[in-house]
Amino acid sequence: MLENQYYTLDYDSRKNRVHWKVIGFWKSVEVVQEVKNDWNAILKRTSKGFTIIADLTEMNAPPKAVEKLHEEIQETIIEAGVRKVATVLSSTMTKWAVISITDRSGMSVYLKNFNSRLDAESWLDE
């Protein structure tokens, strides 16, 4: 598991699933400068058709520079062969930020938003 005060990132090989949790407010790209490297390390472990569960319940809507970083990571995830992405959200503001970011990156075609982790996991398991 890759972990710091801003996120956790892990891979479950049994389900070919990445677990991603974003924590708090990322005020700049500099505070999460290792995030791209961490994602690349995780993606090397996945097989084509992997899924992602993204827990964004503790995420605050990011500034524009950080939105761009999310877009770049999402483009890399798409290139790696993601099949489905389930996001668990609790904030309407964060939901709108996620929709905007995923529309620009192309991730929106793979993504579905949920209020419950259980519902998100069930959808991914289909």
> What's the CATH number where 45 sits?
3.30.750.24
Number of domains forming the structure of the chain:
1
Q: Measure the CA–CA gap between 45 and 25, rounded to whole angstroms.
A: 28
Beta strands in 1-126 (DSSP E): 2-3, 7-12, 17-24, 51-59, 84-88, 111-114
Per-residue pLDDT of the chain (126 residues; tens, 9 = 90+): 999 999 999 999 999 999 999 999 999 999 999 999 999 999 999 999 999 999 999 999 999 999 999 999 999 999 999 999 999 999 888 999 999 999 999 999 999 999 999 999 999 999
pTM recorded for the entire structure: 0.95
Residue-number span of the structural domain to which 71 is assigned: 2-125
